[in-house]
């Protein structure tokens, strides 16, 4: 059996073992309500991100993230008669500390002041603010999980999925090849082109002595780092770290939270996030490895960047 075939079998087996009608019906209803409130009634703009950039805004995001995760997980455990899993002190330490930190870092915008201080014009300030935003999560998350590992996970031979052991590149590269036509297709949608590419190089003059090509390279590298943070948090922490407590139940709750974390991005991304999060969660759970997810995540992001840039170039 090919590596792709093995992954497909793993996903099918996980779904079969995990499926319970009431659980998946609840997840569908809960996620649908969230999507409707966000993309029809703009709940994210009116409530969640209304005070973004302020101390109140940080608290709002932290509350929203805590709600997104536990409003998915707790009903799932109730419907599966597994609420005894919530009695674990380790579970509460890991989830509360890491989700609150992730929410804090998402809302923390004080680095914008540093960008303003360093940049000599609005282009340099905007450029630096984005790079700071992309890279601000990775080191605090790694530091926190280092201490959590020393406390709870000393025996693990990997650092929450950062491991090259048993990693096969072929299925992930094949996936990127298969999804490329879909990315090209959606790149013609106005909603897509209004958001991508994240760095519209044609709007920038020379900054920091860098031409457009080098500006793009540094921007995209920092953009890629943000996906390492994302995979580490959602699959490394919320799946691999919690699996010894929650077992397979860790995956579905994470996937719902992952969907909600995409609110504010194009609707198609938020909807696809629950499916992508679920699949990557199963892979992380089975292989104790997040590197495949990092490859997919960065690969899709870079393809979207390149395709949207080509859309611009083709119109010149």
pLDDT (tens digit, 9 = 90+) per residue, 227-237? 999 999 999 99
Average pLDDT, the chain: 93
Q: Which two tokens stand for residue 174?
A: 């094949």
Q: Which residue, 185, 184, 204, 186, is CA-closest to 194? A: 186
pLDDT digits (tens, 9 = 90+) for 38-84: 999 998 888 888 888 899 999 999 999 999 999 999 999 999 999 99
Separation CA 219–CA 115 (nearest Å):
14
CA-to-CA dists, residue 301 to 58, 72, 82, 137, 304, angstroms:
26, 27, 37, 18, 5
Separation CA 205–CA 122 (nearest Å):
11
Asked if the model's pLDDT at residue 269 lies above 90, the reply is no
pLDDT at position 37: 95
Q: What is the pTM of this model?
A: 0.91
Separation CA 19–CA 22 (nearest Å):
9
pLDDT at position 49: 87
**What are the backbone angles phi and psi of residue 265, rounded to the nearest 5°?**
-90, 170
Q: Which residue, 239, 98, 249, 245, is CA-closest to 160? A: 239
Asked if the model's pLDDT at residue 4 lies above 70, the reply is yes
Contacts 24+ apart (CB under 8 A), 268-276: 268/186, 268/191, 268/192, 270/35, 270/38, 270/39, 271/35, 274/31
Asked if the model's pLDDT at residue 164 lies above 80, the reply is no
Q: Which domain holds residue 10?
A: 3-314
Which of these ranges, 33-37, 73-77, 113-117, 262-266, has the smallest mean pLDDT?
A: 262-266
pLDDT at position 307: 94
Average pLDDT estimate for 285-305: 93
Which of these ranges, 44-58, 61-75, 207-221, 278-292, has the smallest mean pLDDT?
A: 44-58
Question: What is the helix (H) or strand (E) element at residue 135, kind and residue range?
Answer: helix 122-135
pLDDT at position 211: 93
Which of 6 and 93 is assigned the larger pLDDT? 93
Average pLDDT estimate for 279-293: 93
Contacts 24+ apart (CB under 8 A), 287-290: 287/166, 287/167, 288/158, 288/161, 288/163, 288/240, 289/158, 289/161, 289/163, 289/165, 289/166, 289/167, 290/160, 290/161, 290/162, 290/231, 290/232, 290/235, 290/236, 290/240
pLDDT at position 2: 79
Helix, coil or strand: residue 162: strand
Q: Which two tokens stand for residue 277?
A: 């999060």
Which of 165 and 236 is assigned the larger pLDDT? 236
Total count of domains within the chain: 1
pLDDT at position 316: 64
pLDDT tier at 1 (50, 70, 90 boundaries)?
Answer: low
pLDDT tier at 166 (50, 70, 90 boundaries)?
Answer: low
């Amino acid at each position: 059996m090919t590596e792709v075939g093995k992954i497909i079998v793993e996903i099918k087996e996980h779904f079969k073992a995990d499926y319970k009608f009431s659980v998946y019906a609840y997840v569908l209803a809960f996620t649908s309500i969230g999507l409707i409130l966000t993309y029809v009634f703009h709940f994210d703009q009116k409530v969640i991100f209304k005070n973004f950039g302020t101390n109140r805004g940080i608290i709002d995001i932290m509350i929203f993230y805590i709600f997104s995760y536990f409003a998915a997980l707790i009903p799932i455990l109730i419907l599966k008669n597994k609420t005894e899993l919530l009695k674990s002190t380790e579970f509460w330490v890991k989830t509360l500390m890491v989700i609150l930190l992730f929410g804090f870092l998402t809302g923390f915008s004080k680095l914008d002041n540093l960008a303003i201080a360093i940049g000599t014009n609005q282009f340099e300030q905007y450029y630096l603010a984005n790079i700071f935003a992309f890279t601000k999560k990775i080191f605090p998350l790694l530091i926190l999980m280092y201490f959590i590992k020393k406390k709870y996970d000393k025996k693990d031979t990997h650092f929450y999925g950062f491991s090259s052991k048993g990693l096969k590149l072929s299925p992930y590269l094949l996936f990127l090849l298969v999804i490329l036509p879909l990315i090209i297709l959606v790149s013609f949608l106005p909603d897509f082109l209004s958001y991508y590419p994240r760095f519209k190089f044609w709007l920038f003059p020379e900054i920091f002595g860098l031409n457009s090509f080098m500006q793009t390279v540094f921007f995209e590298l920092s953009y890629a780092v943000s996906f390492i943070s994302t995979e580490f948090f959602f699959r490394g922490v919320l799946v691999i770290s919690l699996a010894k407590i929650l077992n397979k139940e860790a995956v579905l709750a994470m996937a719902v939270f992952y969907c909600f974390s995409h609110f504010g991005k194009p609707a198609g991304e938020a909807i696809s996030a629950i499916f992508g999060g679920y699949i990557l969660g199963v892979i992380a759970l089975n292989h104790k490895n997040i590197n495949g997810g990092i490859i997919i995540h960065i690969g899709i992001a870079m393809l979207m960047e390149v395709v949207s840039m080509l859309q611009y170039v083709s119109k010149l």
